[in-house]
Structure 1
C-alpha cells in the first residue's frame, strides 16, 4: 500500500486537489447565489425570476464537467489529452456565452416589464412594448445560440451565413411560406394598426369573447368571462371579423328579444318590458333633446318577427359600457319573466300537432 502511494503520489494528490477544488467552487457558487438572492429581496425588494438559480446550475455543472476532464487527463494518451483540452475550452466558452445570454435576456425582460408597468400607471397603451419584448428576448437567445455554433466546425459556416445580412434575407425567404412567419407578420400588423390592444374586450366571429391579455410573436391570448385562456394564432385573428367593445364611445345598445304567445296582449307585454328596463339603474339616456321633446320612447320595444309559435318583441336599451350591458340583460330576463308570469303574458314553447291520415290501430 505504501509502495502504491509512493508510485502514484502525484496522481493521488492531483485527484484529491481536483475534487476539493470542485467541491469548493460549487460551495462558493451556491453561497454567492444565496447571498445575492437575499440581498435583492432585502435591498431592492425584488423577487428573483429564476436567473440566479439558472446561473448557479450552469456554473455547478461547469465545475463538475471540468473536474471530470481534469481527472481524465491522467489516464488518456497525449492525442486524447489534446482533444479533452480543446473540448474543455469549448465548454468554458459555451458556459460564458450561455450565462451572458441568460443575464442579458433577464435584464432586458425586467426593463420591458418596468416600462410596461409605467405605461399602465400612466393609463397608457403597453401593447407595443409587450410585443417588442418578445422580439428582443428572442433575438438575444438566437444570438447566443449562433455564437456557440460559431466555434463548432460543422456549424461555423452556417452560423456565419445566418449572422450576415445576406444570410438573414435568405433565411426569411426560405421560411416565408411557413406558418411561423405568418404569425409574426400578423402580430406586427396587429401591433402597428391596433384593431385591438391589451386590455380590450373583443368578440371574434364564432362567439369567442374576452379580454386581450397578451400579444406574443405567435399568438394572441384572450381571457374569457369563465376565466379560461383562449389562445388564437395571430394569422387567424388577423383575418377574423371581430367586435372591439372598448372603442372610443363605450356606450352600447343592448337588444333583448323575447317571444310571447299569439294569445297574449302585445301592448301589455311592451309596457312590462319598457317599465322593467326604465327602472334599471344601469340604463342611460341616449335620446337627443329633440327626441325627448317629440316623446320618443327611452326604451323602444318593437315587434320584429312572427314566428311559428311566438310573436318576437325586441327591446333596445342603452348602457354605459359592455359590462353594464350584460348585467342589464341578465337582470331584465329575470324581472320580465316574473312580471309576465304575474300579469298573464305567456312565453310559449314550440309545439307541433301531428295528424294521421290512417288510424294507428284498426277497430275490431
Structure 2
C-alpha cells in the first residue's frame, strides 16, 4: 500500500529533504549563538572571556554548522553523495576548501586565526595601520578587520594585509598616552615666566594624570615638564610633556592646552612669533624690471 509521500514526485521529495536539513541547521545555529550570547552577557563570564575571540568563535561555529548542513544535503544528491560523505567525515574538508577557495581567502582566514590567537589588537583597541589608517577596532571576521575612524567611516582591511603590516596599538597592555605640547616664543621673552605659564595651564587640566614616581614626588618634581628644545630662526621652542589615561582624553588635553597657553601668553604679553621675510631690491632693479616688461607702458 502506497503512502501519500510515495505519490509525491522524487524531485519534490528531494527538495523537501534539503530544505528541512537547512532549516534544522539554521535553528541549531540560532540556538547555539543565543546560548553563547547569554553567557557573554552574564557577569560570570564577561570578565574572563575575550570578546574578540568570542566573536571570532561564533562565526567559526556558524560556518561549521552550516557546513555540516550542506554536507548532509549533498549526501541526498546521488551525483554529489561522495563529496557530501567526505565533508561530513572531515576527511576531505581541507581538500575541498583548497580546491574551491582562492589562496587569498584562505590567507585571510588563517591570518584571522593568528590575530585572535596572538592578540596584537582586540575589539575596542585604537590602532594605526601602516601609519595611514587610524581608528577603533570594531570587529574581526573570518575575512577582514573592520576599523572605525574618527569620522565614523568603516575601514575594511583584509586580515592577511593587516597581519603583515606595522600596527601601532594605543591600548596594548597600557592605554595611557603622553602628548607633546610645543609652542614657540620670541627671543625677547622671559623664558622662566613662559615655562611657568605652560606648566600651570597644563597641570590644571582635568584630563591630566600624574605619572611621577614616588622618588620624583618626594623631590617635588613638577607634574608637567617643560624644556627648551630648539633655538629656531625666529623663535625659541618650548616643549611640554603631559600624560592622559587614554588617547581620546590625551587629544582633548592637547587641544585645550594650546588654547589655554595662547590665552595666558596674550595676557602676559608673550609673543608667539611667526616667520617673516624682508625683501630688498638693489638700486635700479625696479627700473630694469619694468624696462624688460614689454606689456608695461610706463617703460620707455
TM-score normalised per structure 2? 0.80
2:290 maps to what in 1? 361
1:101 maps to what in 2? 25
After superposition, residues 62-211 of structure 1 pair within 5 angstroms as 85-118=9-42, 122-124=46-48, 125-174=50-99, 178-211=103-136
2:145 aligned with 1:220: yes
SS in 1 for 2:205: coil
Would you say the 8 A contact 1:120–1:126 is kept in 2?
no
What is the rounded CA distance, in whole Å, between the counterparts of 2:128 and 2:175 in structure 1? 14
1:342 maps to what in 2? 267
What is the rounded CA distance, in whole Å, between the counterparts of 1:297 and 1:89 in structure 2? 82
Which sections of structure 1, spanning at least 5 residues, go unmatched?
1-69, 71-81
What is the rounded CA distance, in whole Å, between the counterparts of 1:243 and 1:175 in structure 2? 35
Shift of residue 275, structure 1, vs aligned partner: 1.3
Would you say the 8 A contact 1:251–1:319 is kept in 2?
yes
SS in 1 for 2:92: helix
Shift of residue 295, structure 1, vs aligned partner: 4.3
1:267 maps to what in 2? 192
Q: Call closer, same or farther: CA 1:119–1:272 in 2, change over 3 Å.
A: same
After superposition, residues 240-319 of structure 1 pair within 5 angstroms as 240-262=165-187, 264-319=189-244
Query: What CA deviation, in whole Å up to 9, does each residue of 1:144-200 have, x standing for no partner?
Result: 223223333443344344445442232354478722111111111111112222233
1:22 maps to what in 2? none
What is the rounded CA distance, in whole Å, between the counterparts of 1:142 and 1:296 in structure 2? 63
Shift of residue 272, structure 1, vs aligned partner: 1.8
**Aligned-residue CA RMSD (Å):** 3.1
What is the rounded CA distance, in whole Å, between the counterparts of 1:272 and 1:283 in structure 2? 16
After superposition, residues 230-241 of structure 1 pair within 5 angstroms as 230-241=155-166
What is the rounded CA distance, in whole Å, between the counterparts of 1:234 and 1:91 in structure 2? 37
SS in 2 for 1:212: strand
1:36 maps to what in 2? none
Query: What CA deviation, in whole Å up to 9, does each residue of 1:215-266 have, x standing for no partner?
Result: 2111222333433333222222222323333344433322222233455444
Structure of higher CA gyration radius: 1
Q: Call closer, same or farther: CA 1:100–1:275 in 2, change over 3 Å.
A: same
2:296 maps to what in 1? none
SS in 2 for 1:256: strand
What is the rounded CA distance, in whole Å, between the counterparts of 1:232 and 1:156 in structure 2? 38
2:248 to 323, 340, 345: 323
Q: Call closer, same or farther: CA 1:281–1:165 in 2, change over 3 Å.
A: closer
* Greater RCO (CA < 8 Å, at least 6 residues apart): 2
Which sections of structure 2, spanning at least 5 residues, go unmatched?
292-298
